[in-house]
Structure 1
Amino acid sequence: MDKDAERVHHPYDDAIIITLLIADYTTRRMLINNDSLVEFLYYPAFQQIRLGRDQLCPINSPLVGFRGMKVQLMGTITLPVVVEAYPQQIIKEVSFLVVDCSSSYNAIIGRPTLNSWKAITSTYYLSIKFPIEYGVGQVQGDQLAARECYLAMLAMD
């Protein structure tokens, strides 16, 4: 375990930010949030994946952000997500709420997906481990990206 900690610059309180393959598009700056009850895909990332708005399923439920602001929901979409590289990978369909608001993240992965991966997250090691057919797969968080996202969010405020 201590070998895993060598990859991380201590002390810190950084978020777990990872890269995943969503619908065959490498998507960086994905926040892992154990508190989120849904998965979010921000509209700019949705556009980068080159998906059409006609592929979204409409949704008529309001979403209120942390500051009490209403967030524009574009719709929902289910997309294949690949975690890590073969042979230590898992592939799952993930249902995202597509939102049109500013964020330094491209997406937020919450509890439903983490549970479907049977994932264990570690903020200390900035990593996620999950069972695969022959052992344990792991995705390492990107500490530099976490700090860049944090600073970008501060600048937006």
Structure 2
Amino acid sequence: MEKRSRLEPGSQITFRVEEAKFPNHDDALVVSVRIANARVKRVIVDTGSSADVLYFEVFKRLGITKGDLTPLASSLTGFMGDFVSPLETTLLPITIGEEPRTETIMTTFIVVDLPSAYNVILDRPTLNKLKAVISTYHHALKFLTSSRVGVVRSDPKESRQCYLTAVTMPKRPRPIQPPLDPRNDFKTPRHSESTEQLVEVLLRRGRPDKVVKVGMTLPEADQIQLVNFLKENADVFVWYPEDMLGVNPQVMQHHLNICHEAHPIKQRPRKFAPDRQKAIDDEVDRLMGARFISEVRYPRWLSNIVLVKKPNGSWRMCVDYTDFNRACPKDCYPLPRIDHLVDATVGHELLTFMDAFLGYNQIQMAP
């Protein structure tokens, strides 16, 4: 078995089978390095970590003052999802290897005040700076230096002692959470109510039902400008489906581009509970009254109704058009990506959201 990694032209790092002095082990790779001109043992090489960690007890023994620390706002996330609040960070030189094959780099350590069986955790960024290659089978770490290839080997006794220390250390108490109710996974999440104060603005005289709400946190000048704008354009707002004038068919119509080889499909009727059936009847009556839909006695295609629960507890009536969609060719022009739309708002002071309020019902179907 041979493991190679070509890091630079003409340079190779090689592991040979005969180099494995302790082949029958599964211990972690624990080495010793020099940090700030002091020999530090029990340094674990962790390729799964994304941060170089220096424990506070070791930090104090190195003789470094707290004035050399830099505040850190973020926190660390452990393997179990728990959060660790680091003290601060510090930039220190780290030397790995033995003379004459050594390598020294500057490393930013995150200082944490926690009990640990190790003194330091070396992570991926530092290993990449050292151009190091790790072999857990050989229990060794190799890296390039100006004097060919350097090597650092782990002591199995030290690794085993760190492991025994880690498993015997007292665990930090974790907050006890009540058992989760699996039924909550099927409950519709409720939207948090806005705590912003709103003021109702009457857009049309004599119609107290036609009002809009404006946030009180807007500056007074912006409030006046917004209210005047809404009143000047009150005719474009609708509160009931019957108020919709619809789009002239000469301007736009819905066309169904059904493939010629497709055969009409009539879905089998579904049964609904009484409360759902009432919601369907009410919605159909509303759409019929607004002339959005009309009755067809002998349809070639027949699709079932699907009810979806809204966050406020009411029902949204949809139609199962899966068979219809299969019979129509796919649109090769998708909608814009949401991140592109958000990026387009850069440089603007205000972002307005509009509720289309069943606007698609204003476009009629072509005969």
What are the superposed Cα offsets for residues 40-83 of structure 1, whole Å, 9 maximum, x if unpaired? 00111111111111111011112232334332311001101111
Match of 2:118 in 1: 105
The amino acid across from 1:20 in the alignment is: V
Match of 2:25 in 1: 12
What are the superposed Cα offsets for residues 14-61 of structure 1, whole Å, 9 maximum, x if unpaired? 100000000011000000011111100011111111111111101111
Match of 2:48 in 1: 35
> Which ranges in structure 2 are unaligned for 5 or more consecutive residues?
1-15, 172-367
> Whose radius of gyration is greater, 1 or 2?
2
Tell me, yes or no, if the aligned pair for 1:71 and 1:100 is still in contact at 8 Å. no
Higher relative contact order (CA 8 A, sep 6+): 1
Task: After TM superposition, list the pairs within 5 Å mapping 1:127-146 onto structure 2.
Answer: 127-146=140-159
**Are 1:58 and 2:58 matched, yes or no?**
no
Aligned with 2:86: secondary structure? Answer: strand
Deviates more, 1:76-85 or 1:113-122: 76-85
Q: Distance in 1 between matches of 2:50 and 2:109?
A: 11
Deviates more, 1:28-37 or 1:57-66: 57-66
Tell me how far 1:94 sits from its aligned partner.
Answer: 0.8
* Aligned alpha-carbon RMSD (Å): 1.2
Match of 1:90 in 2: 103
Aligned with 1:129: secondary structure? Answer: strand
Q: Percent identity?
A: 34
Q: Which one has the bigger strand percentage?
A: 1
**Are 1:3 and 2:24 matched, yes or no?**
no
The amino acid across from 2:102 in the alignment is: Q
The amino acid across from 1:62 in the alignment is: S
The amino acid across from 2:84 in the alignment is: V
> Which ranges in structure 1 are unaligned for 5 or more consecutive residues?
none
Q: Distance in 2 between matches of 1:67 and 1:102?
A: 17
Tell me, yes or no, if the aligned pair for 1:39 and 1:113 is still in contact at 8 Å. yes
Q: Distance in 2 between matches of 1:54 and 1:150?
A: 33
Tell me, yes or no, if the aligned pair for 1:72 and 1:101 is still in contact at 8 Å. no
**Are 1:120 and 2:102 matched, yes or no?**
no
Tell me how far 1:107 sits from its aligned partner.
Answer: 0.5
Tell me how far 1:93 sits from its aligned partner.
Answer: 0.5
The amino acid across from 1:108 in the alignment is: I
